[in-house]
Each structure stands twice: as C-alpha cells, then as structure tokens.
Structure 1
Amino acid sequence: MSTQQSRSDAIYASLRRAILEQALKPGVKLPEDSIGDTFGVSRTSARNALLRLAADGLVDIRPNRGASVAMPALEEAEEVFALRRCLEREVIERLCRRMPKDGIDALISHVREEERALKASSPRSIRLAGEFHILLAELTGSKLLIDFVSQVVSRSSLILARYGRPHSAECGIDEHIQLIEALKNLEANTATDIMEHHLHAVEDRAKAHDKEASPDIAEVLERYRSMADNL
C-alpha cells in the first residue's frame, strides 16, 4: 500500500467516525485544505477520502461548492427506514437459517463494547449502535447485503443526526441483547418482531429540532486525527 493511500485511508476512517458519532453534523463544510492541513497531507489525499465518503452516502460533493456532510431531507426518512426494514428482515431470516459458528460470540462482544462506551458517556456508543446492524449483515457472508445495509444504516444515522430527538441508548442495547437471544435460539419470528419494533422506535425519533451551531471543523478533525494516531 502506498503512503498516499495509507494517509487517505486514515482520513477516511477519522472522518467517518466523526460523522457517525455526530461530531460533524449534516451540512457541515469539509474543506479539502483544512483536512489536508490537519492530517499533514495533500489536497489529493483529502479529496480521495471525501470521494469514498461520498460513495458511502455520508458526504455530498457539489461543483464549485466543495464537500459537506450529507443532509438527507426529512421526506427521505420514510423510504430509508422502509428499505432498511426489508433488508434487515432478510438478514434475520438468513442468520436463523445459518449462523456462523462464532457469530453469537461476535455479537455479544460488540454489545459489551456498546455497554462500555455508554458507561463512559462516549460518542462511540452512537456509532457502535449502527455498527451492530452492519455486523449482523456481515455474518450473512453476502457482500451485496453488507453493502446495502451499510449504506442504509449510514443514511439512517444522518437522518437521526439532523432530525432525531434524544433517547436512552440503554433501550437500544437492551433490544440488541434480546435480538441476540432470539438468534441464538433460531427463533426467526421473535427475532423479526424485535427488529421491527427496534427500527420503528428509531424511525419515530426522527423529528425537526432547532439548528445547532456549527462546530469548529479544525478542532473536530484534530481530535479524530489524534484518535487515529493512537490506534
């Protein structure tokens, strides 16, 4: 792997975390020069990372306006969550037919990480909640399903970041634990019902709220760059 590619990967990972942890809210500008200065790389490396995030649906890039965190319209929410329910129902059905040998252990390990992040009041808990659903898709072994679920979960996260009202993360973790138990027992109907209830609750949190002040982009990027250096 080239040095330039490695640097672009680090920028991509750091920005993705910052967006999914809601440190960078929808609509926040992502100037290539600021990103390049923070990470000590060329604008080309910064641009490559932004292009990857755009492909994930996390960033919008417009001619003569540059890049910014994607801002999904509220009208999009209904369609996004409808698609997500269909995709995650398929994930549940596949896992109840064939769960990988270490699948349940992987899910339990992830939930424990969610619990640690929640106890520490870390913004990681927001990102980990979404990544639990991506992990479920990964356990199916279907690349297409993984890609589709990853994209729709990311889009859901943006919708919640822009419109969602606060909620208790403990409730989400409890539902994840219930889902794991149903999957462990291969109870497809129960697991599907839990997932449906869980996703409807997430969707119901989406509502307009007062616009927050834009964060200091350099400060956020520096914080996440430091995190990447410590990995």
Structure 2
Amino acid sequence: MEDASCPASFQEIVSRMDASDRAAAICRAIRRAILEQALSPGDKLPEDTLGERFGVSRTIARHALGQLASEGLVELRRNRIALVATPSFDEARDEFDIRRELERLVVRALAGNLTAEQVAELRAHVAEEAAARGGPDANSIRLATEFHVKLAEMAAKPTLLRYVREIAYRSSLSLATFGRPHSPECAINEHGAVIDALEAGDPERAADRMAHHLDQVAERAFLRAAPARGDLMEILGPYAEAERGRSHARTA
C-alpha cells in the first residue's frame, strides 16, 4: 500500500492516467502559461522536451499540441515543429469582434438569472482584480480573462463556454503580441458595470456594457512589443508541477 506521507512523483501519477488525461494536463498547463504570458507568440514547443517535462511520451505530447492547434493557440509546421501561435493584427481585432458577440450572448442569458451567491462571487473576483492593481500586467490579464470565463461558466451553456474560453485564451495571445501597458482601473470599473446590469435583470444593458467593455479593452491595449525570456521548458516547470498536484489530489 502506498505511503500517503510520501508524495508520488509526477511520472508515477501520470502513469495512472489514461492518454487523454495526460494530454489534457499538458493542454491546461500550456493554456495557463499563455494566459499568464509566461509563453509568448513564436515560442517553440518541441515534442521531446515537452514530453520529458511532463513525463509523457512524444505521442501524447503531439496529441496535446494537436488539440491546442485546433484551438488556435499553437501552430504546427513541417518536421513536427510546434510554435505558440502568432496572430496577425487583423486576426487580433477580428477575435475581439467575435468575442464581443459571443459574450453578449453570455450576459443576455445571465441577466436576472444569477443567484445572490453568484453575484457575490463575481463581485469578490472584481475585488481581487482591484487588489492586484499595480502588480504585473500578466496578473491583471489573467484575472480579467478569468472574469469572462467565470461568466460563461455561470451561463451553463457548454458550447458557448467552449467558444468563449477558447477565444479568451486566443485574445491573451493577441494582447501578448500587440498589447501596450495600461492601467486596469477602467476594466475593473467596466466589470462592475456589467455585474450591475446583470443583477438588475436588464439583458440589453448588460449586453451593451459587455460590448463597450471589450471594445475599450481592444482600444486601450494595442500595441506593444513583447520582452525576451529564459528557457521555455524551465518556464513550463511550475505548470507541470501544478498539474502534478492536481492529478495527485484526484488519484489520492
């Protein structure tokens, strides 16, 4: 019987998971690294070193990269070379246009239908955004993106959630490519205004405020050059460890 006092290694935990779970763990880690701007457009993601970092085979790493490519987060090139996707400026603006319409659907579905607990959860998240002001831009972007995903989760529409989540992460890539530093103050106030409209049960006002907010995000953010960073597999180390902890908790 395994000694619970001795944490299993990442490789031991991975060995208990099926191939789809292993690939999903890599996808989650890379999505989060993109969201936090630890990974940037154009970064290489070699199958072999990715597999070593996450303790999986190259085949599973390749499957994960294929899934991320289908979401528009990774580009697959010849000779099995994978890169974090680099959106064009036009693509970036198109993403925000599409995202605006998707999220208008989200808030229309939520207006007047949120529980008191859900409203409190959203306001607590906005308070967390406010507390993060003055810190790294990546934290602000992560928290802002999580606010939008949280709304989509509350709408309880799986297909809509999938598209909102994917385009929200894709938008993070665009911000990493073209975004310029800006104060999160306006975005925080706009999130609060969306919550006010949702709580008031006014779907059209909520939709208009969401559209205005995303238009303003696009206008405020573009454009900036991204800074250089260190070894990419070292960057992914903490994300691999986070998945290790997540998997250990699930199998314990």
TM class, shorter-length: 0.7 to 0.9
Q: Which residue of 2 aligns with 1:202?
A: 217
Q: Which structure 2 residue ranges, 5 or more long, are not aligned?
A: 1-15, 247-252
2:53 pairs with 1:38: yes
- 1:128 aligns with one of 139, 143, 157: 143
Q: Which residue of 1 aligns with 2:92?
A: 77
* Cα distance between partner residues in 2 of 1:4 and 1:230: 18
2:243 pairs with 1:222: no
Q: Is the 8 A contact 1:61 1:68 kept in 2?
A: yes
Identity %: 45
Q: Is the 8 A contact 1:159 1:206 kept in 2?
A: no
2:207 pairs with 1:192: yes
Map Cα deviations across residues 11-67 of structure 1 (whole Å, 9 max, x no partner): 222111101111100111111111112122211221222222222221111232511
* Cα distance between partner residues in 2 of 1:155 and 1:125: 16
Instruction: Calculate the TM-score normalised by the size of structure 2.
Output: 0.80
Instruction: Calculate the TM-score normalised by the size of structure 1.
Output: 0.86
Q: Deviating runs (4+, > 4 A) in structure 1?
A: 115-122
Alignment of 1:132-143 (within 5 A): 132-143=147-158
* Cα distance between partner residues in 2 of 1:5 and 1:77: 30
- 1:16 aligns with one of 31, 38, 44: 31
Secondary structure in 1 matching 2:111: helix
Q: Which residue of 1 aligns with 2:118?
A: 103
Q: Which residue of 2 aligns with 1:172?
A: 187
Report the alpha carbon displacement of residue 166 of structure 1 after superposing the two structures with TM. 0.9
Report the alpha carbon displacement of residue 76 of structure 1 after superposing the two structures with TM. 1.3
Q: State which drifts further: 124-133 or 14-23.
A: 124-133
Highest Rg: 1 or 2?
A: 2
Q: Which residue of 2 aligns with 1:26?
A: 41
2:67 pairs with 1:52: yes
2:166 pairs with 1:151: yes
Q: Is the 8 A contact 1:24 1:215 kept in 2?
A: no
Secondary structure in 2 matching 1:158: helix
Secondary structure in 1 matching 2:170: helix
Report the alpha carbon displacement of residue 138 of structure 1 after superposing the two structures with TM. 2.1
In structure 1, what residue type is equivalent to 2:191? H
In structure 2, what residue type is equivalent to 1:49? A
Q: 1:82 to 1:122 in 2, by over 3 A?
A: closer
Q: Which structure 1 residue ranges, 5 or more long, are not aligned?
A: none
Secondary structure in 2 matching 1:64: helix
- 2:101 aligns with one of 61, 81, 86: 86
Report the alpha carbon displacement of residue 116 of structure 1 after superposing the two structures with TM. 5.2
